[in-house]
Structure 1
Amino acid sequence: MNRPLKLPAYGGQALIEGVLMRGRHAVAAAMRSPQGEIILQSEPLRGIYLTRLTSIPFLRGLVILWDALGLGMRYLSISANLQANDESEKIEGPAWALTLVISLALAVGLFFLLPALLGKGLQAWLGLSGLATNLIEGVLRLVAVIGYIWGIGRIPDIQRVFAYHGAEHKTINAYEAGAELTPENINRYPLEHPRCGTSFILTLVVLSVLVFSILGDLPWLGLILSRVLLIPILAMLAYEYIRWVADHLDNPLVSQLIRPNLWLQKLTTRPPSLDMLEVSIAAFKAMLELETALASNSLNRQESAPPVVAAVDAHQNQ
């Protein structure tokens, strides 16, 4: 396979009936419409992606956090609206912003505040030490995360999203191996990938036990504030760990350290069908094409251009 540009930083995300692929300079999404077409949308990365934050250790983790909350959620809404039967079913503007805020609040409450408050309650009831309380909180947080992922993974629509997640991983694994990107070729590659966001979540949970243990025994208000305000710090630490692991995969010790992360990905991925792999390939090729053009400065004059949207034949990328 001819690779004119080696991408120094890229990743992906499953969408509703689609896949998002992100490089250093560009992002592209491919989504299967209800009519069977593959709809492509690509755009250069701007704003925070063009600042020095992307190259400063730890601070660049904030970019990844914004990547998930901003860019990722925006394309998730685009993919959801594409599947809507009529305009009344679409969620846009203030309604989407409210949905995002509520979702974030529920996530923080369920995965950070609830385990902390339950641990604090057990401490008061059983007279536990601060260290024991923090360990219990960490276990409760891990159980909440795994239980939630397992639970939503039983929903048929989410199972399809997880299958597109598997397609994204297979495509990136095949590209890194230098394979030709056809559905049949990339279907032979693993569902798991060490840089997956699922690995990021598990790492963040484990690091939360260490960081919160350092803080010791806190009063109720300090407990709540620390669990919310330290989320960006935990994200930065988790990103640096994942980045370090990805750069040292040939180390036998590191290969053992990532086993729990790869295991958890079994809950967030499903084997994709060939038509799902077509969508993932289309997204990756669109991202790579724009990435290559931007890197060679051929699209600098289009810096202010709107996203490019197109429909492609379902078999064009085979």
Structure 2
Amino acid sequence: MKYTSIGGQALIEGVMMRGKEDIAIAVRKPDGNIEVKMEKGSPIEKWKIAKMPILRGVFNLVASMTVGIKALTYSAEFYAETDENYEQSKFEKFLYTKLGKRADDILMAISILTAFGFALVLFGIVPTFSVGLLKSVITNQILLSAIEGVVKIGVFIAYIVIISQMKDIRRVFQYHGAEHKTIHCFEHGEEVTVENARKYTTLHPRCGTSFVFLVLMISIILFTFIGWSNLIIRILTKIVLLPLVAGLSYEFIKIAGKSQAGWVKMIGAPGLWMQKLTTREPDDQQLEVAIAAFKSVLDRMGSDL
């Protein structure tokens, strides 16, 4: 096995691949051709503080969300142009009229905050308040935290299952599988082609799904030691500790991407199981898109993998 730092993200009819400095966004356009756009990574990742253990996980998460939403927006634009029913909202029109291109940054910030807020409510506030209703019946703090953990995982699985029923999301999950197959092919030392990539699994230890699931698991363990007497304080404390949880999860994902140790595989196994919900077998055309993005980044990196 040879390991690479290149990672990716599935888009709307496309795949984004990230190297240490460069990003390649490959999209299958409505006319059938593949468009590849090269960009530089987030400047956040170049800060010295962003390279420190634990802290780098927090900075990487922010950079990944920023780059990911930007790439997702770019891929969606190809299909918005061909959608006769698509029209900018009044708020978008107002921002572009007043700010021009700077409106992109405002919309990006709103998207990130909205995504973070949605995740906080769904996986943080809802489980805590729902389990908090049992305080009068269950007084054991560890048991309450365990139940909260089960609710969190249940909500996460239910959310993935529900959105996977959408046709467009199933297509994104196929591109997710194409991304993983392409990286596996390279890491196994084979020439990165459709024929070679096709045979590999759609599951990969260095995956966002595994990261999210690991965040849930670490938070369940860490938040067990936070009291249940005041639910508001419990939620605020959990928000304050989120950077620590994200940092620890990131460090493990980095280890999991390179290590074949038994304990690493055991801890990472639940995340791989979850990927069976967030990846699908891609077709050859989807593999072509993932390979185009991967090779574009690889060419820029040279031997610095």
Partner residue of 1:168? 179
Asked if 1:14 is matched to 2:34, the reply is: no
TM-score between the two structures when normalised by the length of structure 2: 0.87
Asked if 1:225 corresponds to 2:236, the answer is yes
Residue 97 of structure 2: aligned partner: none
Distance 1:218 1:42, change over 3 A: farther
Aligned equivalent of 1:265, options 255, 275, 280: 275
TM superposition shift of 1:23: 1.1
2:69·2:111 contact (CA, 8 Å) conserved in 1?
A: no
2:96 maps to what in 1? none
Distance of aligned partners of 1:41 and 1:167 in 2 relative to their CA distance in 1, 3 Å threshold: same
Measured after TM superposition, the shift of residue 268 of structure 1 is: 0.4
Alignment partner of 1:188 out of 199, 203, 208 = 199
Instruction: Describe the shift of the 1:161–1:153 C-alpha distance in structure 2 as closer, same or farther (beyond 3 A).
Output: same
Matched, 1:254 2:250: no
Match of 2:37 in 1: 41
Match for 1:61: what amino acid?
A: G
Q: In 1, Cα distance between the equivalents of 2:229 and 2:64?
A: 30
Contact 1:245 1:254 in 2 (8 A): yes
CA deviation after TM superposition for structure 1 residue 217, in Å: 3.0
Which consecutive residues of structure 2, in runs of 5 or more, have no partner in the other structure? 93-102
Indicate if the aligned counterparts of 2:128 and 2:231 stay in contact, CA closer than 8 A: no
Aligned match of 2:133: 121
**Residues in 1 aligned to 2:65 and 2:151: alpha-carbon distance in whole angstroms:** 24
Deviation larger for 195-204 or 103-112: 103-112
Q: 1:230 to 1:287 in 2, by over 3 A?
A: same
1:7 offset after TM fit, Å?
Answer: 6.9
* 1:106 CA displacement: 1.6
Offset of residue 97 of structure 1? 4.5
User: Given the two structures, how large is their TM-score scaled by the length of structure 1?
Assistant: 0.84
Q: Secondary structure at the match of 2:133?
A: helix
Cα distance, 1:19 vs structure 2: 0.3
Tell me, what secondary structure is at the counterpart of 1:30?
Answer: strand
Query: Structure 1 residue 247: deviation in Å?
Result: 3.2
How many residue pairs match? The answer is 288
2 CA distance for matches of 1:179 and 1:146? Answer: 34
CA contact (8 A) 1:8 1:24 kept: no
The Cα shift of 1:46 comes to 4.5
Assess if the C-alpha contact under 8 Å between 1:142 and 1:205 holds in 2: yes
Q: How well do the aligned residues superpose, as a CA RMSD in angstroms?
A: 2.2
Following the alignment from structure 1 to structure 2, what is the Cα–Cα distance between the partners of residues 26 and 83? 25
- Give 1:82's aligned residue: 78
Using the alignment, how far apart are the partners of 1:8 and 1:282 within structure 2?
A: 16
Q: Give 1:99 deviation, angstroms.
A: 4.3
Residues 159-192 of structure 1 deviation map (CA, whole Å, 9 limit, x = unaligned): 0000000000000000001111111110011110
Structure 2 Cα separation of the partners of residues 269 and 184 of structure 1:
19
Mapped to 2, the partners of 1:42 and 1:217 lie a distance apart of: 49
Instruction: Describe the superposition over 1:118-160 as per-residue Cα deviations: whole angstroms up to 9, x where unpaired.
Output: 1112113x14322111111111101011110111111111000
- Structure-2 change in CA distance of 1:82 and 1:159 (3 Å): same
CA shift for structure 1 position 96: 5.5
| 3-state SS of 1:247 partner | coil
Structure 1 position 151 matched with structure 2 position 162: yes
1:70: how far off?
0.7
> Does 1:203 pair with 2:199?
no
Q: Whole-Å Cα distance in 1 between the matches of residues 37 and 67 of structure 2?
A: 13
2:245 to 211, 234, 250: 234
Matched letter for residue 158 of structure 1: I
**Where does the alignment leave 5 or more consecutive residues of structure 1 unmatched?**
1-5, 296-318
The residue aligned with 2:226 is 215
